[in-house]
């Protein structure tokens, strides 16, 4: 990729990050004004009427894919298996999950939204945005982006990443530990965070390419010097 194309790509990622951040801010604003309360209540009521032990068991396992303690090592291991990436790439995948979790913890303390009353996590801290949905979305965006850039089964990986992020978000509502608006906010801020991490990936990849070119030129010059006949 030419430097101009890479700069354009970074610009697109920046615009995507800001656009998703705006979407999160819009969701948060409507949530604080109470405009999403009716939707949250309706979704909670509908889920309660259609809850089953089988789906509860499935979502009880699925939801852990959004926990940063699970998401970080799973993302790094999957990245190593699929992309055969460097230590920097694996660290970026793991740090995306961990940093997203820490970032959303700060947001929760700012918004002070309580979890659904009577839910299993009612007294486990604030609710908005969902940390699991945020982490899953952030890693899904970055993982899918790397798959596209490296051309490693992009259609399959992108679809799988989107499915996992979707199921993790749904699981938080189904298990009655979050409101629907919490998950929506988590998806948007997580996607914004992931877009920012994609830009970091591009910068790291650019630096690696430069290092590779310099190393290649140095090796070529050394070989030419060694091959030069003595006078």
Distance of CA 25 to the CA centre of its chain: 18
Mean pLDDT of 136-153: 94
The whole-number pLDDT of residue 216 equals 38
pLDDT beyond 80 at 184: yes
Q: Is residue 44 part of a domain?
A: no
Q: Is residue 111 part of a domain?
A: yes
Q: Which domain holds residue 121?
A: 3-32+53-208
Q: Is residue 37 part of a domain?
A: no
Mean pLDDT of 157-181: 94
The whole-number pLDDT of residue 157 equals 95
The whole-number pLDDT of residue 126 equals 84
* Continuous H helices in the chain: 3-32, 37-49, 53-62, 68-83, 87-111, 131-150, 154-174, 180-227
Q: Is residue 220 part of a domain?
A: no
The whole-number pLDDT of residue 51 equals 87
Q: Is residue 231 part of a domain?
A: no
The whole-number pLDDT of residue 50 equals 87
Q: Is residue 225 part of a domain?
A: no
Q: What is the CATH number of the domain that holds 176?
A: 1.20.144
Mean pLDDT of 184-196: 95
* Averaged confidence pLDDT in the chain: 85
Q: How far apart are CA 169 and CA 21, in angstroms?
A: 18
| The total number of structural domains that make up the chain | 1
Lowest mean pLDDT among 37-46, 90-99, 110-119, 192-201: 110-119
Q: Is residue 39 part of a domain?
A: no
Find out whether 180 and 133 touch, Cβ atoms under 8 Å. Answer: no
Mean pLDDT of 149-169: 94
Q: How far apart are CA 54 and CA 122, in angstroms?
A: 23
This prediction's pTM:
0.84
pLDDT, tens digit (0-9, with 9 covering 90-100), for 40-86? 999 999 999 988 999 999 999 999 999 999 999 999 999 998 987 67
Q: Is residue 216 part of a domain?
A: no
Q: How far apart are CA 92 and CA 170, in angstroms?
A: 26
Q: How far apart are CA 23 and CA 133, in angstroms?
A: 15
Q: Look up residue 91 and give its two tokens.
A: 């660290």
Confidence of residue 224 (pLDDT cuts 50, 70, 90): very low
The whole-number pLDDT of residue 34 equals 87
Q: How far apart are CA 197 and CA 191, in angstroms?
A: 10
Residue 72: closest CA among 95, 89, 104, 103:
95
Confidence of residue 4 (pLDDT cuts 50, 70, 90): confident
């Amino acid at each position: 990729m030419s430097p101009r194309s890479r700069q354009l790509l970074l610009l697109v990622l920046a615009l995507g990050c800001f656009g998703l951040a705006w979407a999160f801010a819009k969701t948060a604003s409507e949530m604080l004004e109470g405009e999403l309360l009716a939707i949250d209540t309706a979704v909670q009521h509908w889920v309660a009427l259609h809850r089953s032990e089988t789906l509860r068991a499935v979502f009880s396992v699925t939801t852990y894919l959004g926990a940063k303690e699970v998401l970080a090592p799973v993302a790094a291991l999957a990245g190593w298996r699929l992309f055969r990436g460097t230590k920097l790439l694996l660290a970026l995948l793991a740090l995306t999950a961990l940093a997203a979790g820490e970032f959303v913890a700060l947001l929760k303390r700012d918004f002070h939204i309580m979890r659904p009353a009577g839910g299993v996590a009612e007294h486990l801290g604030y609710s908005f945005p969902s940390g699991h949905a945020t982490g899953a979305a952030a890693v899904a965006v970055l993982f899918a982006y790397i798959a596209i850039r490296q051309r490693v089964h992009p259609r399959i990986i992108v679809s799988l990443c989107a499915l996992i992020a979707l199921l993790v978000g749904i699981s938080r509502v189904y298990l009655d530990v979050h409101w629907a608006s919490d998950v929506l906010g988590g998806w948007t801020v997580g996607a914004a965070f992931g877009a920012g991490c994609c830009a970091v990936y591009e910068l790291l990849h650019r630096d690696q390419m430069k290092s590779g070119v310099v190393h290649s030129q140095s090796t070529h010059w050394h070989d030419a010097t060694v091959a030069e006949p003595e006078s």
